[in-house]
């Protein structure tokens, strides 16, 4: 929340919480309607406020004469020691309305305490700056940030400042630290929009308000004629980037904290980094950190879902021989997560993956669809849907979804798995040369686990490249000497007969 907001201009202070106008520390009497008019003009000082808007906001839409509006403007000027000739504070824009033109500083009566590091990350989206002369397309500078606020509010792990508060800082000459202090947030999104002929250029930055560092930045460009699709692309890209960039940044900060001093969110974000590495040692490390998080905060739904993901991972990667127990643990942890937060996309994602362990792809797909319905730009949820669709004989749908996931999150820690899923979509259609090209990229990608090497070996056999197949099979055996065809089909329970038969033949050829 913005809290007690004070606008300072000249020797005046406009306190919107107490509905007070002060001059040199003393109260200046002002009628309620005049105060409302002043607050409206100061709050929207970057633009002209029309008479219609004044009627709507100050008179609640009641019909009054132009003379009544002019009278309140005159009173507002008088209380500020201004007049219609000097117009030092309120300027009349002929036939358009009025604008507050004096320089304004935005402050709080009591400094906001920065968001506690134990709480979930918080963010504010500021109105973007339109560079250039006003024109009809300038409205996107407000529309896009407003849409982002609505979209970000769906992210259950992120606290988002409401538009009414963040848009008060429009045009304020405040640095990141001041924004964090005024709004009580850890992060802010700001941007610029520029019209270049028939194209719009949009620049966006994610800033850490604690030190002013830029965590992520991107530029977009699109044709004016396709502005609506362009806006959708920008929103989707920003949302997907935040899902990755903020947790990575939080984890980097948490590494600077002594482990016993970690709070729940810091422990969780550190655990995420270990979770994505898909090996025994990091699985154990992630489990300890997630357990620390739920001990510190038993109501932390995402951490319970993280424990479920690790149970799934242990079975998927063959770290345990007790598949039934792994499934029971995974379901128990994610059920608790869903009890705590039924709308947490990561929990639905984790639940969907537990069904893979039983070979129930259709059962898993139901949960994965829920994850992406709750958060339509959740790249990992979209990828998991694609994986399930590909193995269950719907490669066209799988390809559409995995391409979307890679476009939304090109630096995702599971990017190698997305590439492998793209290979599966070709394998399912008998396009083995294309599958080989994609799986080669997947197996060579950073973080690719041993089962990706095994997929590469299988696909290269089907593509007729025995040398590459033998090389990847040797790589897989070196990393996991006991690997067998049973491990392959446990991890990839394809219901497509063509995929299963092709994989079985390839594995037999490789002696697995």
Q: What is the CA radius of gyration of the chain?
A: 28
Quote the Cα angle for 421-427-428, to 5°: 95
**Hey, what are 373's tokens?**
């319905």
The token pair at 123 is 């963010």
- Joined together, the tokens standing for residue 41 give 């003009």
Rounded CA separation 457/311 (Å): 27
**Dist. CA 406–CA 418, nearest whole Å:** 7
3-class DSSP state of 145: helix
Question: Which is nearest to 468 in space by CA: 497, 443, 498, 493?
Answer: 443
Given CATH 1.25.40.10, say whether it is the number of domain 257-376: yes
Residue whose C-alpha is closest to residue 182's, from 232, 110, 259? 110
d(CA 351, CA 368): 8
Environment class of residue 177 by beta-carbon count within 10 Å: exposed (0-12), middle (13-18) or buried (19+)? middle
Sign of dihedral through CA atoms 32, 38, 42, 46? positive
55's tokens = 């009627």
Residue for token pair 């529309």: 143
DSSP assignment of 72-101, as one string?
A: HHHHHHHHTT--TTT-SSEEEETTTEEEE-
Candidates 418, 354, 409, 410; CA nearest to 384 is: 418
Torsion, Cα 15 20 25 29, to 10 degrees, reads 150
Predicted local confidence at residue 61, as pLDDT: 62
Q: Would you state the structure tokens that stand for residue 13, as one six-digit string? A: 């202070």
Q: Strands 5-9 and 122-125, how do they pair?
A: unpaired
Those residues of the chain that have pLDDT short of 50 are: 1-4, 109-117
Number of Cβ within 10 Å of residue 237's Cβ equals 18
Is 5-108 a CATH 1.20.140.10 domain?
no
- pLDDT score for 108: 57
pLDDT at 182: 83
> Could you give the count of Cα atoms lying within 13 Å of 228 in the half-sphere of its Cβ?
0
Determine phi and psi for 254, rounding to 5 degrees: -65, -30
Place of tokens 């829920």: 370
User: Global pTM?
Assistant: 0.70
Q: Given this model, what pLDDT does residue 55 score?
A: 84
∠ CA(122), CA(125), CA(131), 5° rounding? 155
Quote the CA–CA distance of 362 and 370 in Å, as a whole number.
13
Q: How buried is 427 (Cβ within 10 angstroms: 0-12 exposed, 13-18 middle, 19+ buried)?
A: buried
How high is the pLDDT of residue 60? 65
Give 397-422 as a 3 state SS string.
HHHHHHHHHHHHCCCCCCHHHHHHHH
Residue 508 sits at φ, ψ, to 5 deg, of -65, -40
Q: What does the alpha-carbon distance between residue 224 and residue 138 come to, in Å, rounded to a whole number?
A: 12
Domain segments of the chain: what residues?
5-108, 122-245, 257-376, 393-512
- Please tell me what DSSP assigns to residue 316: H
> Which one of 3.90.870.10, 3.40.50.1100, 1.25.40.10, 3.20.20.140 gives the CATH number of domain 393-512?
1.25.40.10
Q: Which residue has the tokens 């999150």?
A: 409
Which CATH architecture describes the domain 122-245? 3-Layer(aba) Sandwich (3.40)
Between helices 301-316 and 323-340, what is the axis angle to 10°? 160
Residue 174 has a pLDDT of: 65
User: CB–CB of 209/179 below 8 Å?
Assistant: yes
CA distance 450 to 482: 12
pLDDT (0 to 100) of residue 475:
95
Q: Are 421 and 390 in contact (CB under 8 A)?
A: yes
122-245 matches 257-376 in fold: no
What per-residue confidence (pLDDT) applies to 119? Answer: 61
Which residue is listed with tokens 């808007």?
Answer: 53
Cβ 225 vs Cβ 135: under 8 Å: no
């Amino acid at each position: 929340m913005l809290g007690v907001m004070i606008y300072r201009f000249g020797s005046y202070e406009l306190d919107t919480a107490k509905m007070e106008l002060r001059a040199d520390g003393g109260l200046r009497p002002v009628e309620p309607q005049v105060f409302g008019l002043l607050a409206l003009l100061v709050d929207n000082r970057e633009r002209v406020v029309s008479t219609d808007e004044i009627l709507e906001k100050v008179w609640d839409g009641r019909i009054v004469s132009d003379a009544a509006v002019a009278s309140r403007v005159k009173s507002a000027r008088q209380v500020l020691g201004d007049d219609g000739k000097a117009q030092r504070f309120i300027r009349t824009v002929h036939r358009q309305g009025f604008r507050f033109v004096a320089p304004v500083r935005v402050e709080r009566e009591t400094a906001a305490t920065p968001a506690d590091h134990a709480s979930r990350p918080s963010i504010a989206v500021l109105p973007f700056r339109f560079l250039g002369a006003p024109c009809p397309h300038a409205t996107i500078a407000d529309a896009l940030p407003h849409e982002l606020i609505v979209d970000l509010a769906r992210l259950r792990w992120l606290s988002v400042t409401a538009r009414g508060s963040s848009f008060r800082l429009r045009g304020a000459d405040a640095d990141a630290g001041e924004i964090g202090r005024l709004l009580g947030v850890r992060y802010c999104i700001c941007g610029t929009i520029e019209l270049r002929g028939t194209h719009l250029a949009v620049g966006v930055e994610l800033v850490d308000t604690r030190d002013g560092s830029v965590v992520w930045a991107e530029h977009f460009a699109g044709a004016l004629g396709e502005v609506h699709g362009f806006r959708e692309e920008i929103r989707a890209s920003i949302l997907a980037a935040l899902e990755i960039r903020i947790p990575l940044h939080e984890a980097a900060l948490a590494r600077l904290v002594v482990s016993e001093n970690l709070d729940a969110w810091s422990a969780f974000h550190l655990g995420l980094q270990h979770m994505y590495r898909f090996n025994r040692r990091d699985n154990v490390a992630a489990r300890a950190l997630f357990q620390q998080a739920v001990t510190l905060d038993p109501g932390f739904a995402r951490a319970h879902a993280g424990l479920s993901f690790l149970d799934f991972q242990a079975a998927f990667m063959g770290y345990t021989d007790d598949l039934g127990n792994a499934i029971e643990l995974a379901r128990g942890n994610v059920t608790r997560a869903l009890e705590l937060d039924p709308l947490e996309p990561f929990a639905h994602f984790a639940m969907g993956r537990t069904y893979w362990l039983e070979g129930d792809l259709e059962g898993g797909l139901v949960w994965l669809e829920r994850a992406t319905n709750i958060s339509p730009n959740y790249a990992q949820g979209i990828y998991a849907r694609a994986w399930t669709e590909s193995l269950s004989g719907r490669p066209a749908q799988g390809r559409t979804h995995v391409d979307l996931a890679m476009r939304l999150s090109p630096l995702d820690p599971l990017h190698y798995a997305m590439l492998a899923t793209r290979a599966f979509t070709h394998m399912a259609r008998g396009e083995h040369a294309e599958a080989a090209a994609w799986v080669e990229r997947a197996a060579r990608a950073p973080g690719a686990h041993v089962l990706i090497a095994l997929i590469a070996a299988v696909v290269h056999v089907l593509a007729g490249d025995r040398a590459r197949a033998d090389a990847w099979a040797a790589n897989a055996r070196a990393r996991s000497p006991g690997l067998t065809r049973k491990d392959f089909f446990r991890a990839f329970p394809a219901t497509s007969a063509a995929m299963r038969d092709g994989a079985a033949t390839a594995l037999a050829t490789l002696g697995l």
